[in-house]
């Protein structure tokens, strides 16, 4: 389960941020693409054990807020852009099989909710 390694890395990043800014992170808002290879449920499950590796870090009450990203495609033929829940090949506008995937593999820490310490 590589989600534990991802959760641990995220925890390290948030701990560094908390130290640099003298704040406590109460929530981390993530955007995960369906083709990122990250299972959101497994990441949520791995979060608590990852945080447990850093006792006294201040992340004990931090929770993850995960938003799944849409898959964005653009058509190489007609130039239009579309959002889908999964992979597509055929352009819904011109009907050609010329779609290019623009996004869907991302794993982004979009924001964090913080409290002053």
CA distance 31 to 45: 17
Distance, CA of 30 to CA of 109 (rounded, Å): 5
Partners of 25 in the β-ladder: 114
How does pLDDT run across 40-52, given as a tens digit for each residue? Answer: 999 999 999 999 9
> Domains in the chain, please, with CATH?
3-69+104-116 (3.30.2320.50)
Per the confidence metrics, is the pTM higher than 0.95? Answer: no
Phi-psi region of 56 (alpha: psi -120 to 50; beta: other; left: phi over 0): left
**pLDDT tens digits, one per residue of 13-61:** 999 999 999 999 999 999 999 999 999 999 999 999 999 999 999 999 9
**Rounded CA separation 30/33 (Å):** 10
């Amino acid at each position: 389960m590589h989600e534990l390694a991802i959760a641990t890395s995220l925890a390290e990043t948030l701990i560094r941020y908390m130290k640099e800014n003298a704040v406590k992170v109460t929530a981390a808002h993530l955007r995960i693409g369906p083709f990122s290879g990250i299972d959101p449920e497994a990441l949520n499950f791995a979060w608590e054990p990852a945080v447990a590796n850093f006792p006294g870090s201040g992340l004990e009450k931090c929770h993850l807020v995960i938003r799944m990203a849409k898959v964005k495609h653009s058509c190489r033929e007609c130039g239009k852009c579309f959002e889908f829940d999964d992979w597509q090949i055929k352009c819904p506008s011109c009907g050609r099989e010329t779609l290019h995937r623009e996004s869907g593999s991302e794993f982004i820490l979009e924001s964090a909710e913080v409290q002053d310490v």
